[in-house]
Amino acid sequence: MQFSATQIAEIIKGRIEGNAAVTVSTFGKIEEAKQGELSFLANPKYEEYLYSTEASIIIINESLQLKKNVSGTLIRVADAYSAFASLLDMYQQLKVQELAGIQEPAYIHPSAIIGENVFIGAFAYLGEHVKIGDGTKIYPNAYIGNNVTIGKNTIIHPGVKIYYDCSIGSHTTIHAGTIIGSDGFGFAPQKDGSYRKVPQIGNVVIEDNVEIGSNSTIDRATIGSTIIRSGVKLDNLLQIAHNVEIGSNTVIAAQTGISGSTKIGKNVMIGGQTGIGGHLQVADGTKINGKSGITKSIKIPNTSVTGNPAHDFKAALKSQAMVRALPELDKKIKTLEVLIEKLLKKE
């Protein structure tokens, strides 16, 4: 597929500087791009490559003032990063649309309802009463259990397992190896020291426009639903326990674990390797620094916390500054001790 600078500018509502007829067929990083490739510049740290890149078309911010001549065609936009992301999304959608039909061998129960323009890859399994919306793509070796519902234009990547009764929304992406709806970690201690399994009879509900990274697990609820609200973006290698609720447009980085029945608000940002205890609440707009440990509820919206146990981010920075000053304070104290000792001897 080839696109001219004119076509790209129309899509991203940009202003062309240079040859409007030049075409590109693929993408490249600005420091490595060759002729026939499209690149972008959003981070000022990479501006030096703007003047040496061989990219045929470069998307830049409207506000950028050039220091030298540029060999490629420029397209100026308000936000180069967002514009480039929208082009990548369009390119990916075009590639995904090429997939259609049902590959063999695949198992589809006769009671399953399959929408139009659906792709089902080889060795996929679709159980009883499964419902698949129009335009959805299910890649090879995926498992879709009984009574699972998947919306429109959703992508289920290879090796994803979705257990029975779970619901997946539209325009959602679940990456390879992720497991949706496995049993929550529920065991009742017995008098003899053993543990009796508590049946997990709920499900998982994932709403629209969600993206879930590879090799993550989202456990089904004991009763009711584990819920991932619309617009949530989850990284790889996450553990989300039974009956957790994650509010809309929240983002969570890799290796984070959220214990059972915890409620995460809207527009929350959680850094990687964070641990969150069970039966807690995290208010809307909270920012949690990576490797934090959340042991109590965060009830004030738009709070920033860090550390283990987590506490106020600004207070933590002050504490760190004080710790760094300790060696100098130690010197001053020793100097004062010497002076005091001398004064005492004079008495």
Positions marked catalytic = 242
Amino acid letter, 10: E
Peptide bond into 199 cis (omega under 30): no
Give CA–CA dist 286/233, Å, rounded. 15
140 in Cβ contact with 120 (< 8 Å) = no
Tokens (6 digits) for 306? 């860090």
Q: What is the DSSP letter of 315?
A: H
Q: Is 230 helix (H, G, I), strand (E, B) or coil?
A: coil
Question: Per DSSP, what are the bridge partners of residue 31?
Answer: none
184 in Cβ contact with 219 (< 8 Å) = yes
Q: How many residues does the chain have?
A: 347
First to last CA, the chain: 93
44 in Cβ contact with 63 (< 8 Å) = no
152 in Cβ contact with 171 (< 8 Å) = yes
